Amino acid sequence: MNDQSTKTTHFGFRDVPVGEKQKLVGQVFTSVARNYDLMNDLMSFGIHRLWKRHFITISGVRKGDRVLDLAGGTGDIAALLKPVIGPEGEVVVGDINAAMLGVGRDRLTDRGLVKGLRWVQMNAEALPFPDASFDAVTIAFGLRNVTDKDKALAEMCRVLKPGGRLLVLEFSRVRNATFGKLYDFHSFKVLPRLGRLFAHDADSYQYLAESIRKHPDQDTLKSMLETAGFGHVEVRNLTGGIVAIHRGYKL
């Protein structure tokens, strides 16, 4: 009988039992939590900060909105959302990894960003909120690490109010073949060595590069959002498709 003990999924380029992936991913992010900004700089050539600002600019989030930011443990997206939603709004920062949440909460508290922020450890596949709880859901560079993406997307749709928006920022499929070869060389030859040099952790950086290649491409993820119940799904490629923003609405 094919149950949770025999089903497999990918952890980077390895096949592992479904029940083990969450633990393995957790170990990676516990390992990289203190160096997460460095990791993103190494993986994105430092451009991730511009991508995130653009992500918020086109989000449609308004003053007073209640936003769920998933895989948001670093606090990067929450910090950008806070001035947009204003004092009447709220950002609930959700992350499955306690170490990541701790890093983000400490970082934003040091910056004086406390009011209107809640930090909750949660699994994106089983969100602890009632239906129609949020005006928007954001997830930046986290969906590819979720074991059951279809289940998580359905949960995101469930907790959104009618007309609410889901925004996904994620590494995606490079469109130009020559650029893709250079990007592959950086990802698999350079990045793990940089991880070993700067973070003393080559394996985690190797996994993160592999996880990007296993993530659904732009068109596949668009179809997954539509299957989960989102309409008017738009895809915007950034930096030649290294990343893409998917935006969909709960109809």
Q: Which long-range contacts (CB under 8 A, 24 or more apart) does 198-205 make?
A: 198/35, 198/38, 198/42, 199/32, 199/35, 199/38, 199/39, 201/31, 201/32, 201/35, 204/28, 204/31, 204/32, 205/32, 205/39, 205/42, 205/43
pLDDT recorded at residue 1: 42
Q: Order of strands across the sheet with 243-250? A: 117-121, 90-95, 66-70, 134-140, 160-171, 243-250, 230-238
Per residue in 9-48, pLDDT (tens digit) is: 765 556 657 666 667 666 666 666 667 777 677 767 789 9
Q: Which residues of the chain have pLDDT under 70?
A: 1-6, 10-16, 18-22, 24-34, 39, 43, 199
pLDDT recorded at residue 210: 82
pLDDT recorded at residue 237: 97
